[in-house]
Amino acid sequence: MTTTAPTGTPTSDSSGTDVRLTGISKRYGAFTAVHPLDLVVPGGSFFALLGASGCGKTTTLRMIAGLEEPSTGTVRLGGEDVTGLPPYKRPVNTVFQSYALFPHLDIYENVAFGLRRRGVKSVKKQVGDMLDLVQLGDFAHRKPQQLSGGQQQRVAVARALINHPQVLLLDEPLGALDLKLRRQMQLELKRIQTEVGITFVHVTHDQEEAMTMADTVAVMNGGRVEQLGAPADLYDTPRTTFVANFLGTSNLITADVLDTSGDDIVLRAAGSKLALPAARCTVTARTGEKLLVGIRPEKITLTHADDAGTIPEGRNRVHGRITEAGFFGVSTQYLVDSPVGTGLSVYQQNIERDGRLVPGADVVLHWNPGHSFGLDAAQSIEAGTDAGEGT
């Protein structure tokens, strides 16, 4: 920034381009689309708003852009309160799913548009640099309809970035692309963000997309942020059943708390004794009450029941019977029914496959207790799954 901040205003680089939402909410009549929300998007980061359809992602983004007036709260960009400013006065640009390119202008003029509107005389260098950034230099004189979906998407990004926004808002920008192109464009957008270093706020309902691209992910559900953090932290220690199920797959086992005196909470589920580090439990465990013990499918090892004696001490173990085995090349995905729960999911890498692990086989599922996480048993076990979507 070139302006001098008044005395007393924080001037650190990091807060200089932060997006700060404070108590921001949106009501439509009696319906609350976004509940009061506090959120800080650190300057220069790639931030994803992730959630199922209708959870309030676009509404939140539109309030940052100034396209939607919040019912309560404030929006600050780089320390400045912009809540009352119209969209064109905010240092923000938005890339929509539909791209909204001008069909009658060629790619060069589409990208130059923002500069021309501001009366910039010599646009050649900036447009050239932008087209190079998105690797479309050779396409400058084509019309949008002569480009593929992925190329059009990159034009839309270039057209927004040429205005040097502090923040780029992207609303499902890859939604119209097929899966393979989507994956390519995810890497491409990430590269562009790293290169230009400005804040990206990216809205998506695709959990894989959010995890591969973003430094920080906010998982939204029903107009609230359920959890916010680095992708690996959200995956490793989800705080709600919705996050546990929406972000990847989780096995959630209802268990009775037996002992809370040690570093590990000791529990029992259908006759199996389980351990869970107290530090990985989101609620205070009380003896005699219930908890959900969560474990990711790839953390579980399957051993045929005949070999149960070979399982090392100290691992959580439950018995079960394989109901399905799906071969996926690098891995095999098993479904197992167990007294602790039906349809438990297990992923095994195909290193040395045990030919006995077929449907009908009796098995022991075992895992390092340190990989378990503990959740409040008062929640729906199906929240965030296809069966319990939105609950």
**Strand 92-95 with 167-171, pairing:** parallel
Nearer to ligand ATP, 7 or 53 (CB): 53
The contact set with ligand ATP (CB under 6 A) reads: 28, 31, 33, 51, 53-59, 205
53: partner contacted, choices Mg ion, ligand ATP, none (Cβ within 5-8 A by kind): ligand ATP
**DSSP secondary structure, 48-100, as one string:** EEEESTTSSHHHHHHHHHTSS--SEEEEEETTEE-TTS-GGGSSEEEE-TT--
Closest CA to 222 of 381, 388, 68, 29: 388
Interface map 358-387 toward Mg ion (x if CB under 5 A): ------------------------------
Token pair, residue 338, equals: 């167990």
Nearer to ligand ATP, 171 or 264 (CB): 171
Report the chain's C-alpha Rg in angstroms.
25
> Please, what is the minimum distance in Å from the beta carbon of residue 128 to Mg ion?
34
> Please, what is the minimum distance in Å from the beta carbon of residue 27 to ligand ATP?
9
Nearer to ligand ATP, 223 or 297 (CB): 223
> Please, what is the minimum distance in Å from the beta carbon of residue 98 to ligand ATP?
12
205: partner contacted, choices Mg ion, ligand ATP, none (Cβ within 5-8 A by kind): ligand ATP
> Please, what is the minimum distance in Å from the beta carbon of residue 97 to ligand ATP?
9
Nearer to Mg ion, 220 or 253 (CB): 220
Residues 11-70 that bind Mg ion (CB under 5 A): 58
Largest CA distance in the chain: 79
Pairwise CA distance, residues 134 & 147, whole Å: 13
Closest CA to 117 of 93, 135, 141, 139: 93
> Please, what is the minimum distance in Å from the beta carbon of residue 173 to ligand ATP?
12
Residue number with the smallest Cβ distance to Mg ion: 58
Closest CA to 288 of 268, 272, 264: 268
Nearer to Mg ion, 69 or 306 (CB): 69
> Please, what is the minimum distance in Å from the beta carbon of residue 53 to ligand ATP?
3
Closest CA to 21 of 71, 95, 96, 55: 71
Binding site for Mg ion (CB under 5 A): 58
